[in-house]
Every structure is written in C-alpha cells, then in structure tokens.
A and B are shown apart, each in its own frame.
Chain A
Amino acid sequence: MKRLNINQVLAILIAALSFAYLFEAYRIPTFPIPRPVDSDVLPKVLGFLMLGLSVWLFFERPKGAAEGEIVEERGVLERWLPVAVTAVAIAVYAGALAWLGFVLASFLLVGGLTWYYGYRRHIVNAIVALAVPLVLYLSMTRLMDIHLPAGILPF
C-alpha cells in the first residue's frame, strides 16, 4: 500500500476533528424564539468548511520543509525530549501554583528549566530564578493590585 504523505495524514486528522465538531454543532439547542440565524448555523458552516478543506489538503502535494521544521540530522528523541520535558514542567507548575505559591513555583520552574536547557552557572541561575519572580510578584501584588497566590510563603 502506498504510504500517506504528511498532508494526507493531517487531512485525515482534520476531517476526524471536523466530524466531531459537526456532531457537537447538531447538538446545539434551538433558541425558543425563531431567528433568521440561530446559534448553530455558523458552527455547522465552519464544520462543513473544515471538512471540505481537509479534502483539499488531502490532495495537495506537500511543499518541502516548513518553518520550524528541522532539516539538520538530529534524532527524534533528541528533538522532542526538551519539548516534552518543558510541557510536563508547565503542567506541573499549573497544578502546583496555588499550593506552592507564585514565587516558589516560578523559582523552581525558571531555575529547573534553565539548568535543564544547559546553563551551568548555578549561582547566577539561582539569583535570576529567584529575583525575577520576586520582582514580578511584588510589583503585581503591591503596585498593581493583581492577586497572585502566596502559597507556603508568608507574604
């Protein structure tokens, strides 16, 4: 069987999402008072439009390397690992923000990621990772009256 090219794989994914989108569009309730255009019209139009575009994409030939596409010879794991680690770090940060507090959580995120990305001057890293979130925290909570979680720290 002929292997699918990247556009065809994307087209199938987009078509599947379009069907799911259309399924939800047909479940949007009708407004009791009749209106020329109800809430479900645009979602249905968008769903069918996306479906049509996915068919177009299926038959479109891919055009070389895109922006951000890596031309150099680096392994898949080597390319994706930093992205995966960063994504997990962000997810953990989001979950722990309220409990740890902005300053501590941001200190761990900045310091940890800077170290992971390869910076080895640990004292400079620690100072920056602590100073930037602290300045941001103090200026936002004290000057702009924007609430940020204090967490386990007393201030």
Chain B
Amino acid sequence: MEALESMLYGFGVALQPENLMYVFIGVFAGTIIGMVPGLGPISALALMIPITYAMNPASGLILMSGVYYGAIFGGSTSSILLNAPGVAGTVATSFDGFPMAKQGKAGKALALAAWASFIGGTVSVLGLMLIAPLLASVAVSFGPAEYFALMLLGLSAVVSLSERSLCKGLIAAVFGVMVSITGIDRQTGTQRYTFDSLHLLQGIDFLVVALGVFALAEVFVMLRAGRDAKTHAPQALGSLKLSKDEVKEISGPVARSSLQGFIVGVLPGAGATIASFLAYITEKRIAKDGDTFGKGNIKGVAAPEAANNAACGGSFVPLLTLGVPGSGSTAVLLGALLVMGVTPGPLMLEQRPDVFWGVIASMYIGNIFLLILNLPLIPYIARILEVPRPMLLALIIVFCMIGVYGLKFSAFDLYLLLAFGLVGLLMRMNGFPLAPMILALILGDLMEENMRRALQISGGDWATFIEKPISATLLSIALLSLVVPPVIRRIKRVRSTRHRTV
C-alpha cells in the first residue's frame, strides 16, 4: 500500500505540465539520438547535461532518464532499417530485424520492437517500484567501509566485462581514478596534480571527459573510418499491424525476456547490451524454430527489445537506492545528479521523494509516449537518418563545445575536451574500454572519501574493510568478479583446444 501511495505522489510530480513536457522532449530527443548510428545513450546523456543545469532536479532527471530509455528504444530503428545499431544494446535486434526489413516487413519489425520495448519498460518500472524501496531500507545501515566496498564492486563488475582484455579494463579504471583526484583534496585542502594552474584547482569536470571520450571521440572514429551509415537504402515499411497469432507467439519470449532483462539490469556492470544478447540466445535455444533465428524470426526482434528496455529500468535500482551506478550510462546520470546538487542513495527516498518517485512515475508515462512516438511516427522519424553525415558531425562538435563551455565559461576546458577526445580515440583504437574509465572518474573521488573516512573511524586499521561482514562480502564478490571470468574463459579455451586436437 505504501508503494502505491508513493507512486501516486510520484504521478503528482510527473504529471505536472512542465514535467510532462520534459518526459516528451526526453523520449523524443533520446529516440532520435539513439537512432543515429554511433551516438549511444551515454553521448546522448552527456549532451543533455548542460540543458539540465538550471532545472529543478526532479525535472532534470525526468528529462535525462527519458533520453536514456528513449535512446535504447530509438536504437532499434536504425538496427532494423539500416542494420546500423544506434546503440550497443540494440545490436541483437538487428540480427532478425534487418532480415525482416529486407523481406519488406520493416513496419512489422518496428512495431514489434515498439511493443516489446513498451512491455519490457513497463515490467522494469514495476520491478523498480517494488524493489528499490526495499534495497534502500537495507542500504541505510551502510557505513563508509561498506560504501567503499560497494563502489569497488561496481567498478570491478564493469571492468570484468572488458572481454578483450582485463588488463586494459583495469588500466582504464585506474586512469579514471587518476583524473578524478586532480585538484584540491577536499579533506586536507592540498593541491594534487594542478601544476599551479588555476583552471585545475576545482579538478576536471566529468562532463569534459564524458563528452570528450564519448561524443568527440566518436566523431573522430567516424572521420578516421570515413564511414557512411547509409550503406543500405531504407526498404519499404510494409504494415505495422501484428496478427493474433504473432501476438501469441511473442507473448512468452517478451515476458521471459522482460524479467530476465530487469534482473540483468539490476546487477552492477551488466546492462542493456548483455541483457539483449542473453535474451536472444535464450530464446534461440528454447524455440522450436531456433534455426530460423537470424533470418527474420519475430521472436528474435521481440526478445532482445523487451530485454534491453527492461535492463534500462533495472539499472536505475542500484543508482537510485545505493548511489552506485552499474553502467556507463547510469554513471553519467549520477554525475548529472551530483551537478544538480542531489546525491542519490538510500537517503534520497526520504530527502528527495519528488526526484525518486517522480522519475519512476515518469517512466510509465515515458513508455506510453515512446509507444505513441514509435508507432505512428515511424516513417517520419526514420527521415532523420537522412540528415547529411558531414553536417551531423559538425553539429555534434558544436554541441560538445557549448556543453563544456557552459560549465565555467573557460576556453581551457575546450582544450581539455579536445585532449580527452583524442585520448578517447586512442583508447578505442587500442581496445581500452571506456565504461570503466568514466565510472572510475565519477566514483574515484567518492571512493577515496569513503575509504579515508572508514580509516579515520578505525584509527588507520585497514582490517576494518574485512572485519565488517557486508564490506567483506562485497569485497570478496568484487575480487571474484575480476578473477572468475578470465579463469572460465581460459578453461573454455583449453577445452576447445583439446576438443579440436581430439
């Protein structure tokens, strides 16, 4: 009952005309940005931060979360129409979505994606509403040692997903922490790595780094590749309607994928991409017609779409209740909240219920808006993909510049943006994952603060981190999350080599 009352309060916030407008703008902008290949939700969120500066935190987060799930939603459009996923979370959608488009069923594939996303999104909002307050009530008992351990777990979970190289994931994370501690140490007032520059006293703003390594680096990657996303001309859309049999066929996969996606989304480090691939693989394995996956099977579109949107809502659970983002996108959201003066965490439920419940309620409304946008407007929205690539790239650069310049009105930040753009390009070229870096950049400062506070309380005794049961458990999981995946990969490799030899 309490959840229902809180939800009604949330609707009171979300249904205010101003916030309704922000939900609409958020999902609309997110859908369009998500559709543009290469511009993922992180870039979309980073580009939105300057706009939310002067806004009330509830409205700001409503707008940004709209952009986030709108981008995931919109990513499916370019996946289906152009086989050019706008976001990583919709790559799995293209496996069957693009073959459907080639068969002249693009409209059906888009409609399937819209409905599956709607259901996945709604399931995740329900889950968020029920689970988040429970988790927040547990998290209130967390002290600095527990928080430090939790942040380390979030970071190690993201690093552990660096499939290409654990070493490079760790280097990216350490680099992120290094950048985060630049400036005046808040506890002692000592300057660290400022090189006597006044511009660095307040540290390096995360927006400069986020826009640099994501948006600007993306522009550099595209320029370097000379890529043209319009390698495939859009096909005829066909009908948007689903038959009764089709609805029956996808109902099971959508329900399963929504639940699975939500759970995956809640786990730190996992996210929409993993959720969508997991759902696709699961459905392919259990389907009787599994061999038709990849050739235009409707379940192959519905399952990953339901999962990626459910994961998107799920990722708000650790962010809102623990103040620990589980992914790069939610890390940017955390940064945006901190800029607006709101600290997410267990106390947010009591201190800022308007932000907490307002955002959750706005997600219900946002999902309906997305459905309204994505069904009838599909043919029109798809035309945004016709914006000439040269113009788009130049405009993205100006958006980055204005976002960074608006921080301190300093040209120095623009040079820093350029530097981080080039760093981001080099990182991507050499297989260094960006998510651990951005997460470490945001968590680094907080982690150090909590670590020092815990040691202050314990009188400098480092054993405090392993003496407290919650902290010890979290640290053990953090260690396991780093050690186990490479061990499993090695075992698999050895087995497959043996199998081949036999």
Contact = CB atoms under 8 A, between A and B. Distances in A.
Interface of A: 6, 10, 14, 21, 24, 28-29, 31, 35-39, 42-43, 46, 49-50, 53-54, 56-57, 60, 63, 66-70, 72, 74, 78-80, 82-83, 86-87, 90-91, 93-95, 97-98, 102, 106, 109-111, 113-119, 125, 128-129, 132-133, 136, 140, 144-148
B394 A117 contact: yes
Nearest to B175: A50
A54 B187 CA distance: 30
A132 B425 contact: no
Contacts of A86: 219-220, 223, 397
B418 A94 contact: yes
B452 A53 contact: no
Nearest to B457: A36
Contacts of A63: 164-165, 431
A93 B400 CA distance: 12
Given A35-B188, A66-B430, A91-B418, A42 B393 contact: no
A90 B224 contact: no
B17 interface: no
Contacts of B167: 53, 56-57, 60
A31 B191 CA distance: 11
Contact of B178 (A21, A144, A145): A21
Contacts, number: 174
Interface of B: 53-54, 164-165, 167-168, 170-171, 174-175, 177-178, 181, 185, 187-188, 190, 192-193, 219-221, 223-226, 388-391, 393-395, 397-398, 401-402, 405-406, 409, 411, 414-415, 417-418, 421-422, 425, 428-431, 448, 451-452, 455-456, 458-460
Contacts of B401: 90, 93-94, 106, 109
Nearest to A62: B431
Contact of A70 (B193, B224, B388): B224
A114 B430 contact: no
B391 A90 contact: no
B415 A39 contact: no
Nearest to A98: B411
A84 to B, nearest CB: 10
B223 A82 contact: yes
Contact of B430 (A6, A24, A147): A6
B174 A53 contact: yes
Give 10 closest A-B pairs by Cβ, nearest first.
A36-B460, A117-B390, A66-B431, A94-B414, A68-B428, A113-B394, A82-B223, A119-B390, A39-B190, A68-B221
B411 A74 contact: no
B388 A46 contact: no
Contacts of A118: 390
Contacts of A94: 401, 411, 414-415, 418
